[in-house]
């Protein structure tokens, strides 16, 4: 099978960086000591892919809120994990800001690298995930202000998400790199944020007292849903074509094949939450809320079939990567958020249909999510891969 030169260079970089855990899968330049500038290494290893750890941790918290009816333990667990995700988000924001202030040339260089560029899509998704947690767990700490905090995070995350969804593909079109450089699974990351905005925006509907603002937000969420779904499916088609034509991914990035599952799961959640979280009836609208719920169920059921296919497909490719030498790296965080998104989507579909079997399936997926999160988080901490300040 043909493998493009850029991918070969990336794989070689991964193999070299394995000796330096903090640089694995980051695509970051060598440490300052290696570059001949001692004493300015702080903030040097902060790259946007680290925000995938916030996404993964945040969705573990938010999905736990779907099961508080089973046990109050889910609420306590979710609150603790949300606090962890929120703290880590602000630490990374500080680190990334320092990286741009102290290592501007290297930060700008990442914007011209097709391997690193799509990971800027993880930043708005991290904001949206933590903001969603603020709406679920924040009232215990901030009272009614928690909704305002969640709304602020939603606005900021949505605006940044639209920027990445548009600017990153434009960068791909205007660049001089080969088209095959932009058909790695990580290129789904910039187009997923609007779908996360649609999902989390649905949760805000019940907290908006004005019917006109509710309608405006609902229309906005459906527009974001359409943006992410259509562009996401176009991108996924190119990724799937590359995998079929050029063969499997290099072992170092094999886990990234799970990334497309994120937009699939989030689309199921968004389509159903927008019908379940109704707020006020849509007066004079083309569709009633009952019809929107029906559309969400039909769409969600069809996409769930696609999700089953992609899970099986991704498991097979990941197993192949493990057989040919896949080692632990930050790319393993690619598994966490997509599995969480699928669990959230299945739970939303269960709420819309009232089918207990789907609730059981969502709970089983959540158990798998927490297990994967624990393995990846512990592995990243033990290997120092998240310690950007070292």
User: Tell me, what DSSP letter sits at residue 385?
Assistant: T
Mean pLDDT, to the nearest integer, of 202-224? Answer: 90
pLDDT of the residue at 169: 86
* Domain-wise residue ranges, the chain: 22-382
Task: State the CB neighbour count (10 A cutoff) for residue 312.
Answer: 10
pLDDT of the residue at 215: 86
- For the cut 90, the answer to whether the pLDDT of residue 100 exceeds it is no
Mean pLDDT, to the nearest integer, of 44-69? Answer: 92
Mean pLDDT, to the nearest integer, of 333-357? Answer: 95
- For the cut 60, the answer to whether the pLDDT of residue 37 exceeds it is no
Q: With bands split at pLDDT 50, 70 and 90, how would you rate the model's confidence at 271?
A: very high
Q: With bands split at pLDDT 50, 70 and 90, how would you rate the model's confidence at 9?
A: very low
Mean of all residue pLDDT scores within the chain: 85
Task: State the CB neighbour count (10 A cutoff) for residue 378.
Answer: 10
**Sign of the C-alpha dihedral computed for residues 342, 346, 351 and 352 taken in this order:** positive
CA distance 57 to 377: 9
Q: With bands split at pLDDT 50, 70 and 90, how would you rate the model's confidence at 287?
A: low
CA distance 285 to 299: 20
Per residue in 159-195, pLDDT (tens digit) is: 999 999 999 888 888 877 666 666 889 999 999 999 9
CA distance 251 to 11: 8
- For the cut 50, the answer to whether the pLDDT of residue 209 exceeds it is yes
Nearest one of 60, 94, 83 to 388, comparing CA atoms:
94
pLDDT of the residue at 22: 34
Fold of 22-382: Glycosyltransferase (1.50.10)
pLDDT of the residue at 109: 82
- For the cut 50, the answer to whether the pLDDT of residue 263 exceeds it is yes
């Amino acid at each position: 099978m043909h493998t493009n030169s850029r991918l070969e260079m990336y794989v070689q970089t991964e193999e070299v960086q394995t000796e330096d855990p903090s640089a694995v899968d980051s695509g970051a330049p060598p440490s300052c000591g290696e570059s001949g500038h001692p004493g300015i290494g702080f903030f040097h290893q902060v790259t946007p892919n680290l925000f995938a750890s916030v996404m993964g941790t945040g969705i573990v918290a938010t999905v736990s809120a779907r099961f508080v009816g089973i046990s109050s333990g889910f609420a306590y667990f979710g609150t603790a994990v949300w606090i962890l995700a929120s703290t880590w988000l602000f630490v990374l924001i500080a680190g990334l800001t320092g990286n741009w202030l102290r290592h501007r040339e290297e930060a700008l260089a990442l914007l011209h690298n097709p391997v690193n560029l799509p990971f800027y899509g993880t930043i708005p998704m991290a904001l949206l995930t933590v903001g969603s947690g603020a709406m679920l767990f924040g009232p215990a700490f901030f009272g009614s202000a928690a909704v305002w905090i969640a709304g602020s995070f939603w606005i900021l995350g949505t605006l940044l998400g639209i920027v990445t969804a548009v600017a990153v593909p434009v960068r791909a079109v205007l660049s001089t790199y080969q088209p095959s450089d932009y058909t790695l699974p990580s290129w789904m990351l910039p187009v997923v944020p609007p779908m996360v905005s649609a999902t989390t925006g649905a949760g805000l509907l019940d907290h908006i007292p004005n019917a006109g603002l509710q309608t405006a937000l609902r229309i906005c969420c459906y527009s974001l849903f359409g943006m992410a779904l259509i562009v996401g499916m176009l991108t996924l088609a190119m990724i799937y074509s590359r995998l079929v034509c050029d063969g499997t991914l290099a072992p170092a990035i094999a886990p990234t094949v799970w990334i497309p599952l994120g937009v699939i799961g989030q689309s199921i959640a968004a389509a159903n939450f927008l019908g379940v979280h109704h707020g006020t009836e849509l007066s004079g609208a083309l569709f009633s809320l009952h019809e929107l719920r029906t559309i969400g169920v039909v769409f969600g059921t069809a996409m769930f079939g696609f999700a089953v296919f992609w899970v099986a497909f991704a498991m097979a490719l990941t197993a192949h990567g493990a057989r040919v030498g896949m080692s632990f790296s930050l790319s393993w965080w690619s598994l966490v958020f997509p599995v969480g998104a699928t669990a959230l989507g299945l739970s939303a579909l269960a709420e819309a249909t009232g089918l207990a079997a789907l609730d059981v399936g969502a709970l089983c997926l959540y158990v798998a999510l927490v297990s994967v999160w624990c393995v990846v988080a512990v592995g990243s901490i033990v290997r120092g891969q998240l310690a950007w300040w070292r």
